[in-house]
Amino acid sequence: MLPSCKSSSIVFIIVLLTALLPPAYAADNTLLREALTLTPDPRAAEEIFELCASCHGEDGFGLENGEYPSIAGQHQRVILKQLLDIQAKIRINPTMFPFSDPETLGGLQGMSDIAAYAAELAPNPNPVNGNGSRLDRGENLYQTLCIACHGPQGQGEAERFYPRLTNQHFPYLVREMIWIRDKVRKNADPAMVEILAEFSKEDIQAVADYLSRIRHTP
């Protein structure tokens, strides 16, 4: 069943506040603010993207088991923030530490360029889905509790660092939502942590399955 009316009201207030205020999880990141003043050049990142391709693939589609996410077509600002969060140990991802090193990637300009290059890649047309058994439940939860930030089609919002959730592998979506719910992932939007706190694993799987079937085509 859906969270109670009281819980939904609390969630609505949290989402409303985060819509009115700059995201706290990004606002104090000096490097991020500096990086956002740069003009990204995707073509300059073609060679250095080979480092990213060793895990995420030349097409940026990641791995079907969700170990590495699909980054193709993700918002440039979202990718840039995640790179900086990983390097600052705000988002703990040991595998990515050496690959998010500014010196390796060519400083903030290089990181901005790589993020732009990945954002220009065509989204994965065939990500892995769930078993399809609870799609109505997933759609109901998403359209009730997630749409305010991620949009009706899971498109996210680049300006506020809300990621695009479409064209993404089901196992990755499940893992990340569980880690956000359980506060393993430290750089999540506080509003999302509050919302997911009331989700069971089955709820998360239902939403992830629903999202994995939405296709974004630029």
* Three-state secondary-structure class, residue 103: helix
pLDDT tens profile 124-149: 999 999 999 999 999 999 999 999 99
* Structure-token pair, residue 26: 């990004």
**What is the radius of gyration, based on Cα positions, of the chain?**
17
Q: pLDDT category, 117, cuts 50, 70, 90? A: very high
**Mean pLDDT across the stretch 180-184?**
97
**Mean pLDDT across the stretch 85-114?**
93
pLDDT tens profile 65-94: 999 999 999 999 999 999 999 999 999 999
Taking residue 131's Cβ as centre, other Cβ atoms within 10 Å add up to: 9
Q: SS3 breakdown of the chain: % helix, strand, coil, rounded to 5?
A: 55, 0, 40
> In what helix (H) or strand (E) does residue 208 lie, and over which residues does it extend?
helix 201-212
**Burial readout 40-62 (b: 16 or more C-beta within 10 A, e: otherwise):** bebebbeebbebbeeebbeebbb
pTM: 0.86
Q: pLDDT category, 177, cuts 50, 70, 90? A: very high
pLDDT tens profile 45-70: 999 999 999 999 999 999 999 999 99
**Mean pLDDT across the stretch 98-112?**
93
